Structure 1
Amino acid sequence: MQFRHSLTRCSAAAAVVLLGLAPGLPAAAASSSTIGVAAGANLEGISVYDTADVLNDEKIKDALSSIDFNEPTKVAVFSRQGEYSDDINSETLAFAREEHPEWISQDAEDYGDYWADGYFIITLSVEGHGDGQIGTYFGEDRKVSTSQMESIHEAGYEDFNLSRWTDGVIAVGAKGAKIMNRPWYKNPALWITTGVAGGAAGATGLVVLGVRASRRKEFEANLSTGREHLSNVTMDLDTTELSARTLPTGSRHAADLERRFADFMAKYRTLFARQQELEAATKKTRSSGSGVALSKDFIDTAQQLDATDDAIIAAAALYTRSATWQEAWRAQTAPILEDLAELPELLGGPDKKLGPAGSALRSFADTAQQEVQAVGTDLAAQVIDVDTALDRLSELRKQLTERLDAYAAARIGAYAKSEAEEKQMRAKLRKQRYASTGTRSGGSILDVTSPAEFFWRVSAFNIGYQSAVKAVNSSRQAASSSSGVSTGYSGGGSFSGAGGSSRF
């Protein structure tokens, strides 16, 4: 390891000297006029086998003959009429074995498993107007990396897409000549490294500063919002305590709220002390990940307490049928009515033809509206009690959740192209679903007493699905921008010569 480090330092120093960056040496020392090869040098031969009858042989020979190669190289160009399903790596190998065995290494130790040293083979497979595949293959002493091969192929894409087959082959040949056996001082990465290294430390410093500033901003936002929730709890404290005392015994929902109120005051006192600690936090703490985590816990707990006291006050109004009971009931129906109101927009997009899943949601929207109204009417007429009314609302919200589950499966199935994409989309939807089902203020008893997985809000579905689509699209874009070069030789036995092909 120490040797490698020393070698790296020596190489870097040599680079500085040879590039004319060291004191006392001219910058022109690395110019092609003094170190590079002459134009048209090192081309030992070029042959064109235009079986597709799409190339101008003389133009290719004239163009490549004027290009300098870094090392002595033999160029062979092979064109063919192909089909989309063709494996042109294997087709090139078969052509070489049958027609040009000199392309394959004859060295005894290679056993015919590699391309011959010094060779650069270009295969053009034409499938139609502007469509096909391009392949490049190299002797072991001329081979390049997959990313470099992709760069060589891309040089011809524009011409190939316009069916300018000859120009595309020339562009591929010229790019290959530039990259194969390229001297270290001609590598663009060296210039990029030299130019960027000096600024890397500064850039890293800016990133760190940006992260810290972002954390402080998040810390302040969490503290501010949490403070508002805690202030609401403080103002309603007396009313909450009085309401908790009036909750009836023998009621399932009331009993659940009573259990929560038993811990309410202890949590409130702890949270009040936590607020004071956060307000006194130093800049260092506010800039740290642990500090942001503390502020996030503060806002979550404050929101939970704010929602709990609202639910207790609403429950007391409902069970005692006080003057505000109708307002309290509206707080219970608000979540399901909001969801139903958002369904038309959800079902009006490009996925409206998803069959049973979409139809089930659409028909549910109509019947659920009527059921919510019926529950309110029965409660007002005292045909049912509060627990029964809440149970019927809970059942409606469960049914909506079940239909959203089915709809999510349909949309994922329609959009995803693989099991991996389906898994990615489900994970994004699940994350948003549970992130959005936390307790919220407003007085909904069910949102406080029911487990988070019971109810899936339509707004959370929309956000989650958009996030899922964005994630999949990003993955697809990353995949498409990565190497599209196909390597290997199907049916080629043990042959493992350097090279590969790509589509255009």
Structure 2
Amino acid sequence: MADTPQVIVRDDPSGKKKATARRGMMRMLCGLLVMLSVPAVWLFPIVMSSISTARAANQYYPNVEIYDQTSSFGAINGQSLQSELGQVPFKQPVKLVVLSTDTVPTGNFNEAVLNYARSSHKEWLSASGNKWADGLVILAVSPSYRKVGTYFGEDTKVSSSKQDKIQEAAKDDFRAGRWSAGMVEAAKEAAHYVPDANGNSTYDGELPPGPAWFVSFLGLVTVWKGFKLRRESRRNLRQAREHWENVQADHNRAERAFALIGDSGKYHDELELRYTEYEANFRIAQEKWAEIGTPRFWEYFSAVLKDKTDTLLSLTSSMDSTDDTVFSASEFFNLGSGWVDAWMKEIGPVIEDLTALGELVTSVSKEMGTPDAMRGQEEILRWIVDQQALIVQLKDQIGQGAVTPVNALETLDRIANETRNWVKGVVVASLKADTTKLGQERYEKWETMQDKSDGAATVGYKGSYRLNGTLHTYDPASTIRLNTQSAGVSADTLKSIAFGSYRMPGWESDTYIYQSMWYQQHTYNTAHTWTHSSDSSDGSYGSSGGGFSGSGSSSSF
């Protein structure tokens, strides 16, 4: 049972909750009134499109083909991606092709998909070779180059604005690394817009210009934002409550575990700072719960409650990860029964960084193709294998007492720092090899991106790694060694002390906060393919297109 009960305040003597509820109510009422003023010229095509869609009785499930060149797709909702996509109904028979590839040598994703089709799947092309084949829908993604593309046969093609919407449907999931979920969302959006066998398509939602459209649109946005605030506030409270129940149940145990942490060397100060913040946040969270109490119905439509629940979720999530860190530290430094599990979690970020380095140097050396590049690749790959072997040996040495837990973590720090040196060397060598003006600009863009310390917000540790053929999962937020996803670390306040390494202001100078090398791989790919053209939707098939004019486009995420 929780040692500290959640406090719920139902009275509102200050009237703050009533004021918040009034704001929410006024938002929704005003938004509805404005939205209902929409002109008939907008309503008519929407109504007619809805009637047409309702009359369309036939549904066809696609023939799904998946080509996962980057090993990005996994199960979703307990089913394979192919099974999940096979349940998305279209309005005509289609072949739905899903492709992941990081082979984008020119930076033009449309060209890369076309070249892949020409080399490996000529059946995707029309008889003339200048269009995509009839009945074809291709959804493609490049995880490393952060590109998403959509391509259609002549009888399945949709307008560029609809292609944009299909691509946008996948981007939130793609940015979070949920590649399978993003493909499912894109497929659902494509099924919505791909026409039926007679060429009838769903209304595009393009509204007529003018003051009436603008006013009505503002009303719609206001109502939509109100429901979005409600949904997010309810989600925040649900997740915060789960974290809070865990924290309350573990609070006393965390206090005892921290007091029993043995010799932790230079890591003791970091743990103490995090635990001190944990205790302070515990009291703050109690106050926040009391302040929020039981929200009234209209409060959920107010941004005030959303801001409060954001803060509460951040607090409780951080505490939930921090007490896990304390438990792991106590087990590890005292070599308790759970020290092996703690060690397997600690090596997670290091193994992920080594994996990112291996992928980066392999890609760069293959592209450069010089003897020096190939020799450099061999040297780095051998070094990676040696470090992985050392990490495996360390576990045995800790168990035998030949190496202390502190020395083992210091060895991980050494490997992490050397990994960053290798990554920087590979990136700089590749970017500097291009001596043109564009190459110099790409190098400058990469340098500019190094000044941003919030990369973990977009590309962080995945929380999984393979070692000796076995897949391991862990929580990057609860490791003893600090990284940019650690509980209590704020990316906005970090100060760079080395390539891919930061520290918190006021902390000891030898306290490293490591940034994921997946982010550095992302910054390199972004800079390496950067051009003066816009990042907006691109329908060009590049210099090797050869007159190809099939329907399709791509965009960045």
Bigger radius of gyration: 1
- TM-score calculated relative to the size of structure 1: 0.47
The structure carrying a bigger helix percent of its residues is 1
